[in-house]
Chains A and B, each alone.
Chain A
Amino acid sequence: MAKIRLATDVGGTFTDLVFYELDSKTGAAGPIQTEKAHTTPPDFDTGVLDVIEKAQIDLSSASFFAHGTTVVINALTERKGVKTGLITTAGFRDVLEIARGNRPDFFNLRYQKPTPFVPRYLRREVKGRLTYKGEVIEPLDTSELPQIIADFKADGVEAIAVCLLHSYANPDHEDQVIAEIAKLWPEVATIASNAITREWREYERSNTAVLSAYVSPIARAYLSKLESAVSDKGMDGAFYVMQSNGGIDTLGAAKNVPITMVESGPASGVLGAAALGKLIGENNIIALDIGGTTAKCSLIENGRVDVTSQYMIEKSRLSAGYPIMTPVVDLVEIGNGGGSIAWVDEHEKMHVGPQSAGALPGPVAYGAGGTEPTTTDANLYLARINPDYFVNGEIEADMPALAGSLERLGAKLGLTAVEAARGIVRIANHNMQNALKLVSINRGHDPRDFTMIAFGGGGAMHATALAQELSIPKVVIPASSAVFSAWGMLMSDLRRDYIRTQPMPIASGSAASISATFAEMEAEALASFADEDIPTDAIMFEHYLDMRYDGQEHSVRMPLNNGKISSTDIDDLVARFHDAYEREYTYRLDAGTNMVALSIVAFAKIDRPQLAKIAEDGDASKAIKSRRNVDYDLAGIHMSDIYDRELLGSGAEFSGPAIIEEAGTTTVIFPNQRVRVDEFGNLHITTKTSGDKA
């Protein structure tokens, strides 16, 4: 039987499936196939099995199955976790409630601080104290633990987080507390902060441990249920879970620390962009994912996905949110997607989003009761989306309702319906441009050095205009752009991130200490893989140092060639730091440098075949299915060729103005842009000039 490799991605509305078969004789990959089914909350595993069944996949032939789930983030945002207790260092039980004391909505004198996930009576203390170097200045005293555990039991606690001061420097006390709890109450779910992160800042680490404990039982139950369901269907291939760091990991590892799955959806898209970049020879990428309610973007430099541990949930201009110190692909997300609603405020200013029409009522043109135009509506009105093939022909676009809604909106500003539609697209693009600037220009990167890879339902619709605005020379629309997140998982390797706070000056004498810590961290990583019988000879490491000037707080993450630093490497490292710092911040200081943290990324390579190529056909004209007038806002209205993407062969080339239609998305080609189709069916769009200013 032919082997199958598959990935499923559980989204808010749909559960996506991407798979391909391997030729049973040659092992060569067959064409990429996709399927969608409805997401089935709260039993998300049902939707996963549904989509597999719909695609008629026999799981007993699956050799590789990667799964992305929103179960963790859902449990957090819907407050569906378990009752959690916290054990911390004497004198610090209120850290979780004190948090950092900030008031982001600062004029508002009725600001409401986010409520801690553990109430005060379930926050308990143990004596014992470490220094920031990890030295014990007061031994751990666990004599009060039996009483604490008895109280927790009586109060119905189901999970316990342990976070002690300076455990990033020395995890012994935390581990002892965990071991002691295991003796007293083996059934309860526990987690020590050092099992998630070895970074300093006690509030952030406490909150991380608490949120992790809070979701653990639920996430573990979900993964176990899915595991037994797929194994009931005969699957004995490798089963992996998508992580927030842009890699996949084993089921065992995911169950151990489920919080690492918190942002797995967005991460897999960025990972897909990095994987696609590798395939087509693009190393510097801006990944743009436009969905129904949000747009997300992330920057990939030299093929490396940027990962941060400064991740927050529910943070906004109005709320301080909650930090989670787990490695998450660094991305900027804004409330602007295809379903974002356009509105005019009382002072006659037009805005787009963050309110979204969602799936119901959806855009006005759905005719399902929506009355306020969305970005999708505007694209439809400008004929960028085909009015005669709306939502793959499943919905007859309600154009009169749409025109009416645009007229009403425009009237508030003295604009016609078409001007209002152009305005919506321009403002939506502007919002997304700001997000793109945040990951590029604002971090010292020149967009001209990058290629944009755009995906999600709305990525292809807006990417070409955004690239022109930001002088990004090339846009790539992937072959499976509407299910790109799941595609990304298929391309993924195992990835584990380790970070360790170890503040010290950078000087020739520090080389040995840095090398020793890296060696220790590598050994920890190798041991974790070995524990799961993952061959350790294929494991690759990346090494980074977070460096800063003396006295500064914010650091620059410096990549190293390996983890063995000699004293002669130090000068070179410092010189590179000065350059990197100046690039990001415009100046350099004649000051000492030090490091805050070391991090390593461990990759376990997963063998996969070369992807199948599409048929060669340089004649693009065969794919033209019609012509129509399309409104390119400031670039004018042009009669445009409409291409059927399915019919475009490898090597096809043509110029804008044009529209490329496919199931799930539409690509807009501006008059000064040129398209080339590569051997895997990806569209490469380049701009002929640096962009039409008006």
Chain B
Amino acid sequence: MNAQSELKHDPITLEIIQSSLTAITDEMFATMRKTAMSSIIYEVLDFGVALFDRDGNLASSGSGIPAFVGMLEPGVKMIIGKFGPNDIHAGDVFMTNMPHFGGVSHLNDVVLIVPVVVDGNVIAWLANKAHWADVGGSFPGSISADALDIYQEGLQIPEVRIIDKGNINQALLDVILQNSRVPETTRGDFWAGVSSTRAGESRVKALSEKYGADTLVYAMADYIALGEAQARTALKELPHGIFEANEMQDDGQVLKIAITISDDDFLIDLRGNPKQNNNALNSSYDATYSDAQMIFAGVAMAQGIVNAGTFRPLTLLTDKGSLFDAEYPAAMSVYYEVSMVVFDLMWKALAPAMPERLPAGHYGSICGTFIGGPHPENGSVQSIVEPQLGGWGACSDRDGVSALYTGFHGDTFNCPAEITEQRNGLMVDKLALTTEQGGEGEFIGGKGLNLDYRVIEDNWWMSMAYSRSEIGPWGLDGGQEGTLNYVIVRKANGEETRYSSVTALELNKGDVISVYTATGGGYGDPADRPKDQVLEDIRNGYVTAKRAQKVYGVSA
């Protein structure tokens, strides 16, 4: 029809297609969430979905977690590089999980990648990345700070085709399932991922049918260009200059960073940092880059559109073989703590210059807590993967938020005690804000968490590795340091041990795992906190009378 060709690239049609792209990834996200088998996917939302242009550039993403927004693009580009252009067909599903080569994060995060093929041509790509509860290896849950190399961390899936023109490669799927300690959950999560990408595929095809593949391809390119234009506008409004920070870590290493912001660049320089670790505390370049994306989006684009264009002004410099750019076969299962640390470092470098955009330091650790054992009801094997909530730093104009997920997480939900008790067969004795004191200031840091799990059956275990277990979240402008992240295990026999990291600790009936997460850093001199406010804090139990006297000089 005439009207259509004339209107081919009219701004209204483009706007409609572009808003459809978001609707498509939203739908993929909802499908995954509804169908997944493991709580880390459907409650913690440790997954992401995304839509890419035909060259693998991110056009739109649906994610519960900001960290995952940029994490799918490298995998799609690896697949294009390996199979394109002649060996990609309608109905194919590819997968990968190797962090050093397009998998980005750790082996648990399995990426499924689907081309959208119209008339024999790839016009777009869809991907889904989700945390699988177990992919084998030496340690239950496939995560341990003690892994020496990637071989100990589980099954490595290089870029492979798991579904070939609609036909499942059953042999490959069988191998994958056989390597998991929870094969049925893994099977469910695999098909949930396929279902989510298929939902996206049919929507992209419908768009192409309606508006024409050319218009759709053009609309995606235009959308990515819009992302870049928005980012460049935002960049001009940021304070310009060189912003530096360094900080000693729990292990005594000192990390450093320099961020240079100009009209055209947001350059993060992480060169000169320590060599990669001989354990699982390493991050791939791609994972570190997604931290850079998060901080950039956080200060510049919090509510704008975010796609491949957004990150074009962003440059990341690292040393190959360093902690932030670890090389194969480095172990990486606890990459997320390294990511948290570097994200926090970027944040710390910028915060003094951007009080209206960044609060003081938050608890700064995923506080991933892995607990497992037989369900007392039926003996079924339980495997809990629970990141913990913690305190956020105070802002320049208000108190910090209590018990919130990290900046790495997002629309992530904790697990209700009532569900944990039924599903996993643990008792939750306490779910409370911490009463540990710290993070005072004119504006106070948000409170961390105190969560007590009680094991009620023998032969359970726990692994965990928390950062900021020795050095608390940083305050700003005279605000006090926050408190620490750690676990206290109280054995049934009365023995108490504090842990910041442990692998497969044996636990038996009556043992209590008491999780403490940090209160965030304060903002401003405590002397400037109004007396009425301090009295209110005392009344609410946020500060003890004794501490109030000491820090604020206020008596109840």
Residues in chain A within 8 A of chain B (CB atoms):
91-95, 97-113, 119-121, 131-132, 165-166, 168, 200-204, 318, 346-351, 413-415, 419, 422-423, 426-427, 430-431, 434, 437, 442, 503, 549-554, 584-587, 589, 591, 634, 636, 693-694
Contact = CB atoms under 8 A, between A and B. Distances in A.
A165 B417 contact: yes
Contacts of B185: 551
A553 B210 contact: no
B111 to A, nearest CB: 19
Nearest to B189: A551
B27 A104 contact: no
Given A109-B299, A121-B541, 12 more contacts: A91-B432, A94-B433, A95-B417, A105-B303, A106-B64, A107-B66, A109-B302, A132-B422, A200-B422, A442-B30, A503-B423, A552-B35
A98 B429 contact: no
**Of listed B10, B19, B417, residue having the most chain A CB within 10 A:** B417
| Prevailing SS type, chain A contact patch | loop
A585 B196 CA distance: 8
Contacts of A442: 27, 30
A106 B65 contact: yes
Interface in B326-348: 347
Contacts of B414: 98, 100-101
**Of listed A105, A106, A204, A423, residue having the most chain B CB within 10 A:** A106
Interface in B28-42: 30-31, 33-39, 42
Contact of A101 (B3, B187, B405): B405
Nearest to A344: B11
Contacts of B500: none
B87 interface: no
A165 B36 CA distance: 27
A591 B36 CA distance: 13
A350 B12 contact: yes
A587 to B, nearest CB: 5
A203 B43 CA distance: 14
A357 B451 CA distance: 48
Contact of A98 (B3, B411, B433): B433
B227 to A, nearest CB: 9
A368 to B, nearest CB: 28
B199 A110 contact: no
A549 B37 contact: yes
Nearest to B420: A132
B172 to A, nearest CB: 18
Contact of A113 (B306, B395, B404, B418): B404
A259 B29 CA distance: 31
**Of listed A201, A318, A503, residue having the most chain B CB within 10 A:** A201
Contact of B449 (A98, A202, A431): A98
Given A120-B542, A553-B39, A106 B431 contact: no
Contacts of B303: 105, 107-108, 318
Contact of A109 (B39, B229, B358): B358
A107 B306 CA distance: 10
B165 interface: no
A430 B22 CA distance: 13
18 contacts: A91-B431, A91-B432, A103-B409, A103-B410, A110-B359, A112-B398, A119-B540, A121-B541, A200-B419, A201-B416, A349-B226, A419-B10, A422-B12, A503-B422, A551-B185, A552-B188, A587-B194, A693-B210
A94 B431 contact: yes
A347 B401 contact: no
A431 B20 CA distance: 9
Contacts of A104: 410-411
Contacts of B301: 107
Contacts of B431: 91-92, 94-95, 98
Interface in B196-249: 198-199, 210, 226, 229-230, 233
Contacts of A347: 226, 229-230, 233
Nearest to B403: A98
B419 A109 contact: no
CB-based closest 8 A-B pairs: A106-B410, A91-B430, A132-B422, A120-B540, A101-B389, A694-B4, A423-B12, A108-B302
A329 B513 CA distance: 41
Contacts of B433: 94, 97-98, 120
Contact of B404 (A101, A434, A694): A101
B184 interface: yes
A114 to B, nearest CB: 10
